[in-house]
Amino acid sequence: MQTAQMNQPTTLHGKQNHGGHEVFDTHEILAGMISVMDQYQIFEQHMQDQELKTIAHNQCDFLKQTYNTMVEAFKTGQDPSQPTKQYNMQQGNDVVYGITPSQPKKPNSSVSEVNEQGLSAYMLAQVKGMSSMCAMSACEITNPVLRRVVADTVPNLIEMSYEIFLYQNKHHYYQVPQLQPADQAAMMQSYDTVPLNQTH
């Protein structure tokens, strides 16, 4: 009799709430978001470039709202009072291609050597990590509201990552090599589309 009772689905407030796996994942996501926001504040203290400061400030403000929305959805399992918004980056979409010779990179000897190149790289690593974590977790979250909030956060984190990449690229911190034209053309022609609505 006890075994049968243990295998019955449990509900909270009359609705399926959260599975154990997603509770752990959501704790990790929320802790990660706190870490990103805290580290952005630390990074800003070392920034000289106003453009990077503005990016960090805008992203941190957006992450705070996202965090609040996610916390509410996690606690209630219901639609949050403030839905997920769309992050709009400030950068243009122009990418500088090619490699410009530069000094080899190496770790800093002291905090005094921290500069915009490093700070923007730290920001990019943080936001890309959160994007991956949210994407993986959203695939398995059982609560439909929380799953949608986490899933909707992924494109925003991707947009933030791309904004930081574009900042780095513009300043030649993140250089983008290209293949020889013939090699690139060959690679781009190596796949073809398939007809749709074929019978099996």
Residue 142 domain-assigned?
yes
Q: What is the CATH number of the domain that holds 65?
A: 1.20.1260
Q: Is residue 64 part of a domain?
A: yes
In a domain, 181, yes or no: no
In a domain, 65, yes or no: yes
Is residue 186 in a domain?
A: no
The residue segments making up the domain with residue 160 are: 15-98+116-175
Structure tokens at 135: 């994407």
pLDDT tens-digit readout, 67-77: 999 999 999 98
The answer to whether residue 154 sits within a structural domain is yes
Inside any domain, residue 187: no
Q: Which residues of 51-79 are buried (b: 16+ CB within 10 A; e: fewer)?
A: ebeebbebbbebbeebbebbebbbeebee
Residue-wise pLDDT for 55-102, tens only, equals 999 999 999 999 999 999 999 988 999 999 999 998 888 999 999 988
The answer to pTM > 0.95 is: no
**Does residue 199 lie within any of the structural domains?**
no
Q: How many domains does one find in the chain?
A: 1
H or E segment and range at residue 74: helix 50-76
How far apart, in whole angstroms, are the C-alpha atoms of residue 38 and residue 141?
26
pLDDT band at 19 (very low <50, low <70, confident <90, very high): confident
